[in-house]
Structure 1
Amino acid sequence: MKIVKLMAQVMALTATTFSFAQKNDLGAWYMYYGNNKISKKLNWQNEIQYRSFDGATDLEQLLIRTGIGYDLSEDNNNILVGYGFILSQPYTDGEKQENIEHRIFQQYITKQKFGRFNIQHRYRLEERFMEEDFRMRFRYYLNFTIPINNKEMIPKTFYASVYNEIFLHLDSPVFDRNRVYGALGYVISKNLRIEAGYMNQIQENKNRGQIQIGFYNNIPFGK
């Protein structure tokens, strides 16, 4: 019940925030992340993100991403190959358009721990098949997660999370975007947690904020 109450408070805060923001000044992303072991070495990544212009029904982008990964060492140094389907509905001259992208990606994730600091590096290469274009992009993601009321990320732990992710095209122009994020989260159980925060996305010609609410599921499917 405490978790339900906490999520209700987060949603209420999000609604209040949008009531003070002008249209398109602030968006919201509602995200589900699954990273589930299917054997000792193999994992299935599954992800859905609903990205909204107004925090509710005005769809900006729907992203569905999945992949199969392999741990090069015990619970670390994961290599993964995956696929993403992205439906975007941007505004052009006040009119909504619809674009579909199919994306193949390869990534490598390595984790480190220094005291309370849990550090994750993610290197990702994307092949992006858009309706009238093809582009390749490299992404580097650096995340720090710090438990607050416990020394480890155990159940009933509140934690802080920050990340920076830079996106670079493999052709010109090289710079695509940069994301900076800060959040508070709660560990529900060994394999479940929730997180709410704010992300600022910097692009060449615009800078936009996003409220983000994420649910993380690491329940294993196999031993």
Structure 2
Amino acid sequence: MTTFDPTPAKLFTRLVLYFVVVFGASAMITTSWPDALQYMPVGGHHALDFFEIEGDEVTISLSPGDDEQAQDTSQPITGGLVAFAISFLAMHLLGTILLMIPIAWTYMATKQDVGYSKNFARALIVLPICATTTVLLIQDSLALAFGLAALVAAVRFRVALDEAIDGIYIFAAICVGLAAGIGFLGIAAGMAVFFCFTNILLWQFEFGENPIERLKHERKRAKLARPRD
């Protein structure tokens, strides 16, 4: 990453290659192994819809919806079902990382001139993981939702954002995490593609460029580049 000299053209090429590889690999996997689709959160699946807990026994219903049918088709949890649940969760989290990498690249490239925080760039990668896990835990539980709100209010996160665009990137990370959590990672993928390439176009054509603001950034860079005595 340190040797990458960002320009709109170079970033465009990098993102195109990345998305082609990721989407191409996903298509090849699903073509050669059709059952892989059930592990991928791209069609609105809810990871916990098939899990039922009654007392000390955990069962998985193969036909959720009708209570009588669910009781007839439920079965004790087995190693294979545990492996399926773990794989399904892993695909949720892996999908968020794969989609946030190009978004983080776009952020670092477009902010190269004015500088950016290393911790903020890393937070863009890991934030959707927390959002995805939160959605999977809450599902349709109103009590858990209120519990999470109370927990966040107690913690009181404070993050100072230098520019409004930083908040937009945070919102994009949350969107990816929420989409993965409810099983619509395909929508998140489409959003990531349009989000990245829209920012490249704005960067290329210097949309909203302010000469005074540019002068401030140039003075800031000159001050940082000045050797210390």
Structure 1 length normalisation: TM-score? 0.21
Structure 2 length normalisation: TM-score? 0.21
More strand by share: 1
Q: Which has the bigger relative contact order, CA under 8 A and spacing at least 6?
A: 2
More helix by share: 2
